[in-house]
Amino acid sequence: MPLVSSNYDPPHFFRNSYFSTVYAGLLRAVKDLRQERERINLPDGDFLDLDWSYTLQPSKKVTILLHGLEGNAQRAYIQGSAKALTNHGYDVCAINLRGCSGEPNTAYRSYHSGATEDLKAVLEHILETTGYAKVYLKGFSLGGNLLLKYLGEGNTIPSELKGAVAVSVPCQLADSLHQLLSFKNVAYAARFKKNLIAKLRTKQDLFPSRITDTDIQKISNLKDFDDVYTSRAHGFADAMDYYTQCSSRQFLPHIKIPCLIINAQNDSFLGEACYPIEEAKHNKNVYLEIPKYGGHVGFYGADNFTYTERRAVSFFDGLG
Protein backbone atom coordinates (compact mmCIF):
# COMPACT_ATOMS: atom_id res chain seq x y z
CA MET A 1 0.00 0.00 0.00
CA PRO A 2 1.45 3.43 -0.93
CA LEU A 3 2.31 5.82 1.87
CA VAL A 4 -0.69 7.47 3.49
CA SER A 5 -0.70 11.27 3.32
CA SER A 6 -1.00 13.08 6.64
CA ASN A 7 -2.88 16.26 7.46
CA TYR A 8 -1.42 16.66 10.95
CA ASP A 9 -0.51 20.34 11.34
CA PRO A 10 -0.16 21.26 15.02
CA PRO A 11 0.23 24.69 16.62
CA HIS A 12 3.69 26.20 16.46
CA PHE A 13 5.10 24.97 19.81
CA PHE A 14 4.01 21.40 19.07
CA ARG A 15 6.07 21.33 15.90
CA ASN A 16 9.09 21.02 18.15
CA SER A 17 9.87 17.35 18.78
CA TYR A 18 11.14 17.81 22.32
CA PHE A 19 8.25 19.99 23.47
CA SER A 20 5.67 17.71 21.86
CA THR A 21 7.18 14.59 23.46
CA VAL A 22 7.58 16.11 26.93
CA TYR A 23 4.11 17.65 26.95
CA ALA A 24 2.46 14.38 26.02
CA GLY A 25 4.55 12.32 28.42
CA LEU A 26 4.76 14.53 31.50
CA LEU A 27 2.29 17.43 31.33
CA ARG A 28 -0.87 16.13 29.71
CA ALA A 29 -3.67 14.90 31.99
CA VAL A 30 -6.81 12.96 31.04
CA LYS A 31 -9.83 13.25 33.32
CA ASP A 32 -13.16 11.49 33.71
CA LEU A 33 -12.08 8.04 32.57
CA ARG A 34 -13.13 5.07 34.65
CA GLN A 35 -10.93 1.98 34.65
CA GLU A 36 -11.81 -1.37 36.21
CA ARG A 37 -8.95 -3.75 36.95
CA GLU A 38 -8.93 -7.44 36.15
CA ARG A 39 -6.06 -9.79 36.95
CA ILE A 40 -5.45 -12.81 34.73
CA ASN A 41 -3.10 -15.72 35.35
CA LEU A 42 -0.57 -16.60 32.66
CA PRO A 43 0.46 -20.10 31.57
CA ASP A 44 3.84 -19.76 33.31
CA GLY A 45 2.25 -18.91 36.68
CA ASP A 46 2.80 -15.15 36.46
CA PHE A 47 0.00 -12.58 36.09
CA LEU A 48 -1.11 -9.58 34.06
CA ASP A 49 -3.31 -6.71 35.22
CA LEU A 50 -5.81 -5.42 32.66
CA ASP A 51 -7.57 -2.07 33.06
CA TRP A 52 -10.97 -1.98 31.37
CA SER A 53 -13.02 1.02 30.21
CA TYR A 54 -16.53 0.66 28.84
CA THR A 55 -18.95 2.52 26.62
CA LEU A 56 -22.24 3.77 28.02
CA GLN A 57 -24.13 1.21 25.94
CA PRO A 58 -23.16 -2.46 25.57
CA SER A 59 -20.65 -2.88 22.76
CA LYS A 60 -19.58 -5.77 20.55
CA LYS A 61 -16.26 -4.06 19.78
CA VAL A 62 -13.13 -3.91 21.94
CA THR A 63 -9.69 -2.38 21.46
CA ILE A 64 -6.66 -3.75 23.28
CA LEU A 65 -4.09 -1.06 24.17
CA LEU A 66 -0.36 -1.71 24.70
CA HIS A 67 1.86 0.89 26.35
CA GLY A 68 5.51 1.67 25.72
CA LEU A 69 8.74 1.14 27.66
CA GLU A 70 8.15 1.68 31.39
CA GLY A 71 4.60 2.83 30.75
CA ASN A 72 1.32 1.59 32.21
CA ALA A 73 -2.42 1.87 31.68
CA GLN A 74 -2.58 5.13 33.63
CA ARG A 75 -0.31 7.05 31.27
CA ALA A 76 -2.06 9.90 29.48
CA TYR A 77 -1.56 8.40 26.01
CA ILE A 78 -3.32 5.21 27.13
CA GLN A 79 -6.11 6.96 29.00
CA GLY A 80 -6.62 9.45 26.17
CA SER A 81 -6.89 6.60 23.69
CA ALA A 82 -9.32 4.76 25.95
CA LYS A 83 -11.50 7.85 26.32
CA ALA A 84 -11.55 8.55 22.58
CA LEU A 85 -12.44 4.95 21.79
CA THR A 86 -15.15 4.55 24.44
CA ASN A 87 -16.70 7.82 23.25
CA HIS A 88 -17.08 6.18 19.83
CA GLY A 89 -18.52 2.82 20.82
CA TYR A 90 -15.44 0.71 21.57
CA ASP A 91 -14.81 -0.96 24.91
CA VAL A 92 -11.14 -0.87 25.87
CA CYS A 93 -8.78 -3.32 27.54
CA ALA A 94 -5.51 -1.61 28.50
CA ILE A 95 -2.77 -4.10 29.26
CA ASN A 96 -0.25 -3.40 31.99
CA LEU A 97 2.76 -5.40 30.82
CA ARG A 98 4.49 -7.57 33.42
CA GLY A 99 5.71 -5.53 36.37
CA CYS A 100 4.06 -2.31 35.13
CA SER A 101 0.80 -2.30 37.10
CA GLY A 102 2.29 -1.05 40.37
CA GLU A 103 3.06 -4.53 41.68
CA PRO A 104 6.17 -6.55 40.76
CA ASN A 105 5.50 -9.63 38.67
CA THR A 106 6.41 -12.92 40.29
CA ALA A 107 8.58 -14.51 37.59
CA TYR A 108 12.25 -13.81 36.93
CA ARG A 109 11.33 -12.70 33.43
CA SER A 110 9.48 -9.47 32.68
CA TYR A 111 8.25 -7.83 29.46
CA HIS A 112 10.12 -6.86 26.31
CA SER A 113 9.56 -5.60 22.76
CA GLY A 114 8.85 -9.02 21.32
CA ALA A 115 6.96 -10.80 24.14
CA THR A 116 3.97 -11.69 21.97
CA GLU A 117 3.03 -14.67 24.13
CA ASP A 118 1.48 -12.28 26.65
CA LEU A 119 -0.58 -10.52 23.98
CA LYS A 120 -1.76 -13.94 22.77
CA ALA A 121 -2.78 -14.82 26.34
CA VAL A 122 -4.86 -11.63 26.61
CA LEU A 123 -6.52 -12.23 23.25
CA GLU A 124 -7.38 -15.80 24.20
CA HIS A 125 -8.77 -14.65 27.55
CA ILE A 126 -10.98 -12.00 25.94
CA LEU A 127 -12.29 -14.30 23.24
CA GLU A 128 -12.99 -17.11 25.72
CA THR A 129 -14.73 -15.00 28.37
CA THR A 130 -16.54 -12.24 26.44
CA GLY A 131 -18.83 -11.95 23.45
CA TYR A 132 -16.97 -9.36 21.40
CA ALA A 133 -17.45 -9.82 17.67
CA LYS A 134 -14.68 -7.41 16.67
CA VAL A 135 -11.28 -6.89 18.27
CA TYR A 136 -8.70 -4.21 17.43
CA LEU A 137 -5.16 -3.52 18.62
CA LYS A 138 -3.43 -0.23 19.31
CA GLY A 139 0.13 0.01 20.57
CA PHE A 140 2.66 2.72 21.32
CA SER A 141 6.43 2.54 20.85
CA LEU A 142 7.50 -0.79 22.41
CA GLY A 143 3.84 -1.87 22.44
CA GLY A 144 3.52 -0.99 18.77
CA ASN A 145 6.55 -3.10 17.90
CA LEU A 146 5.12 -5.96 19.93
CA LEU A 147 1.74 -5.97 18.16
CA LEU A 148 3.32 -5.73 14.69
CA LYS A 149 5.56 -8.68 15.49
CA TYR A 150 2.55 -10.65 16.71
CA LEU A 151 0.64 -9.94 13.50
CA GLY A 152 3.47 -10.97 11.19
CA GLU A 153 5.42 -13.73 12.91
CA GLY A 154 3.14 -16.60 11.89
CA ASN A 155 0.53 -16.76 14.63
CA THR A 156 -2.98 -17.97 13.89
CA ILE A 157 -4.81 -14.64 13.91
CA PRO A 158 -8.34 -14.87 15.38
CA SER A 159 -11.08 -14.07 12.88
CA GLU A 160 -12.43 -11.49 15.34
CA LEU A 161 -9.22 -9.44 15.08
CA LYS A 162 -10.00 -6.84 12.40
CA GLY A 163 -7.23 -4.26 12.46
CA ALA A 164 -4.43 -2.49 14.30
CA VAL A 165 -2.80 0.92 14.78
CA ALA A 166 0.82 1.31 15.91
CA VAL A 167 2.18 4.71 16.96
CA SER A 168 5.83 5.86 17.19
CA VAL A 169 7.16 2.39 16.50
CA PRO A 170 10.88 1.47 16.74
CA CYS A 171 10.49 -1.04 13.92
CA GLN A 172 14.24 -1.66 13.95
CA LEU A 173 15.26 -1.90 17.59
CA ALA A 174 19.01 -1.52 17.19
CA ASP A 175 18.48 1.63 15.13
CA SER A 176 16.20 3.06 17.81
CA LEU A 177 18.73 2.20 20.52
CA HIS A 178 21.41 4.05 18.55
CA GLN A 179 19.19 7.12 18.56
CA LEU A 180 18.42 6.82 22.28
CA LEU A 181 22.12 6.64 23.11
CA SER A 182 22.89 9.82 21.17
CA PHE A 183 23.31 13.20 22.85
CA LYS A 184 19.94 14.52 21.66
CA ASN A 185 18.14 11.92 23.78
CA VAL A 186 20.35 11.92 26.88
CA ALA A 187 17.54 13.07 29.19
CA TYR A 188 15.10 10.43 27.95
CA ALA A 189 17.69 7.64 28.15
CA ALA A 190 18.64 8.63 31.70
CA ARG A 191 15.01 8.51 32.79
CA PHE A 192 14.45 5.08 31.23
CA LYS A 193 17.67 3.75 32.78
CA LYS A 194 16.77 5.03 36.24
CA ASN A 195 13.34 3.38 36.16
CA LEU A 196 14.65 0.11 34.75
CA ILE A 197 17.42 -0.20 37.35
CA ALA A 198 14.92 0.52 40.15
CA LYS A 199 12.79 -2.36 38.91
CA LEU A 200 15.85 -4.56 38.54
CA ARG A 201 16.73 -4.00 42.19
CA THR A 202 13.21 -5.10 43.13
CA LYS A 203 13.71 -8.16 40.97
CA GLN A 204 17.05 -8.76 42.72
CA ASP A 205 15.22 -8.98 46.06
CA LEU A 206 13.13 -11.82 44.63
CA PHE A 207 15.99 -13.56 42.80
CA PRO A 208 19.24 -12.65 44.63
CA SER A 209 21.18 -15.54 43.15
CA ARG A 210 20.37 -14.51 39.57
CA ILE A 211 20.94 -10.76 39.77
CA THR A 212 24.03 -9.52 41.63
CA ASP A 213 25.25 -6.08 42.62
CA THR A 214 28.10 -6.61 40.17
CA ASP A 215 25.60 -7.15 37.36
CA ILE A 216 23.79 -3.92 38.17
CA GLN A 217 27.06 -1.97 38.41
CA LYS A 218 27.81 -3.00 34.81
CA ILE A 219 24.78 -1.07 33.55
CA SER A 220 25.83 2.33 32.26
CA ASN A 221 23.28 2.62 29.43
CA LEU A 222 20.18 0.96 27.98
CA LYS A 223 22.12 -1.54 25.89
CA ASP A 224 23.92 -2.69 29.02
CA PHE A 225 20.56 -3.29 30.67
CA ASP A 226 19.51 -5.50 27.77
CA ASP A 227 22.85 -7.36 27.91
CA VAL A 228 22.70 -7.88 31.68
CA TYR A 229 18.99 -8.60 32.15
CA THR A 230 16.64 -8.57 29.14
CA SER A 231 18.62 -11.05 27.06
CA ARG A 232 19.40 -13.40 29.95
CA ALA A 233 15.88 -13.41 31.35
CA HIS A 234 14.19 -14.05 28.01
CA GLY A 235 16.43 -16.52 26.22
CA PHE A 236 18.51 -14.29 23.92
CA ALA A 237 22.27 -14.54 23.48
CA ASP A 238 22.80 -10.85 24.15
CA ALA A 239 21.25 -7.45 23.50
CA MET A 240 21.96 -7.48 19.77
CA ASP A 241 20.42 -10.93 19.41
CA TYR A 242 17.33 -9.62 21.19
CA TYR A 243 17.09 -6.60 18.89
CA THR A 244 17.59 -8.77 15.80
CA GLN A 245 14.97 -11.35 16.70
CA CYS A 246 12.33 -8.93 17.97
CA SER A 247 12.45 -6.00 15.52
CA SER A 248 9.03 -5.86 13.88
CA ARG A 249 10.16 -4.55 10.48
CA GLN A 250 11.11 -8.04 9.27
CA PHE A 251 7.58 -9.28 10.02
CA LEU A 252 5.65 -6.57 8.17
CA PRO A 253 5.54 -8.40 4.80
CA HIS A 254 3.52 -11.18 6.43
CA ILE A 255 0.77 -9.09 8.04
CA LYS A 256 -2.63 -10.13 6.73
CA ILE A 257 -5.03 -7.68 8.39
CA PRO A 258 -5.19 -3.88 7.93
CA CYS A 259 -2.58 -2.14 10.02
CA LEU A 260 -1.76 1.58 10.24
CA ILE A 261 1.71 2.70 11.39
CA ILE A 262 2.11 6.38 12.35
CA ASN A 263 5.75 7.46 12.83
CA ALA A 264 6.54 11.16 12.96
CA GLN A 265 9.35 12.42 10.77
CA ASN A 266 10.77 14.38 13.72
CA ASP A 267 10.63 11.51 16.24
CA SER A 268 14.06 11.67 17.89
CA PHE A 269 13.80 8.02 19.02
CA LEU A 270 13.62 6.71 15.45
CA GLY A 271 16.36 6.45 12.84
CA GLU A 272 15.96 5.86 9.12
CA ALA A 273 15.54 2.09 9.55
CA CYS A 274 12.39 2.65 11.64
CA TYR A 275 10.42 3.94 8.64
CA PRO A 276 9.38 0.80 6.70
CA ILE A 277 8.58 2.50 3.42
CA GLU A 278 9.34 -0.42 1.11
CA GLU A 279 7.42 -2.87 3.27
CA ALA A 280 4.37 -0.61 3.15
CA LYS A 281 4.62 -0.28 -0.62
CA HIS A 282 4.58 -4.05 -1.10
CA ASN A 283 1.94 -5.14 1.42
CA LYS A 284 -1.62 -3.95 0.84
CA ASN A 285 -2.40 -4.42 4.54
CA VAL A 286 0.34 -2.12 5.86
CA TYR A 287 -0.46 1.60 5.82
CA LEU A 288 2.41 3.91 6.73
CA GLU A 289 1.78 7.54 7.68
CA ILE A 290 4.77 9.82 8.32
CA PRO A 291 3.58 13.20 9.62
CA LYS A 292 6.19 15.94 9.58
CA TYR A 293 5.62 16.61 13.28
CA GLY A 294 4.59 14.65 16.36
CA GLY A 295 7.74 13.77 18.27
CA HIS A 296 7.60 10.46 20.13
CA VAL A 297 4.02 9.63 21.11
CA GLY A 298 3.27 13.35 20.95
CA PHE A 299 0.71 14.42 18.30
CA TYR A 300 -1.07 17.19 20.18
CA GLY A 301 -4.74 17.73 19.36
CA ALA A 302 -7.54 20.10 20.28
CA ASP A 303 -9.91 19.36 23.17
CA ASN A 304 -7.28 17.07 24.72
CA PHE A 305 -7.68 14.37 22.08
CA THR A 306 -4.51 13.79 20.11
CA TYR A 307 -4.25 13.41 16.37
CA THR A 308 -3.44 9.71 16.67
CA GLU A 309 -6.37 9.11 19.03
CA ARG A 310 -8.79 10.52 16.46
CA ARG A 311 -6.91 8.80 13.65
CA ALA A 312 -7.22 5.37 15.28
CA VAL A 313 -10.97 5.79 15.73
CA SER A 314 -11.45 6.76 12.09
CA PHE A 315 -9.21 3.91 10.89
CA PHE A 316 -11.08 1.30 12.92
CA ASP A 317 -14.46 2.76 11.92
CA GLY A 318 -13.42 2.52 8.28
CA LEU A 319 -12.77 -1.20 8.62
CA GLY A 320 -16.43 -1.83 9.45
pLDDT of residue 320: 79
Q: Is 191 left (phi over 0), alpha (psi -120 to 50) or beta?
A: alpha
pLDDT of residue 138: 99
The domain 12-172+247-319 is placed in CATH, from the list 3.30.70.1170, 3.50.50.60, 3.40.50.1820, 3.40.50.970, at 3.40.50.1820
Over residues 200-246, the pLDDT tens digits come to 999 999 999 999 999 999 999 999 999 999 999 999 999 999 999 99
Is residue 169 within 8 Å of 141, Cβ to Cβ?
yes
Residues catalogued as catalytic: 141, 267, 296
Q: What residue spans define the domains of the chain?
A: 12-172+247-319, 173-244
pTM score over 0.75? yes
pLDDT of residue 6: 96
CA-to-CA separations, 217 to 59, 69, 212, 220, in angstroms, rounded: 50, 21, 9, 8
Structure letter (DSSP) for residue 159: T
How many C-beta neighbours within 10 Å does residue 253 have? Answer: 14
CA proximity to 116, closest of 65, 60, 155: 155
Task: Return d(Cα 304, Cα 295) in angstroms, integer.
Answer: 17
CA-to-CA separations, 310 to 88, 93, 136, 150, 275, in angstroms, rounded: 10, 18, 15, 24, 22
The stretches in the chain having pLDDT less than 70 are 1-2
pLDDT of residue 240: 98
pLDDT of residue 1: 61
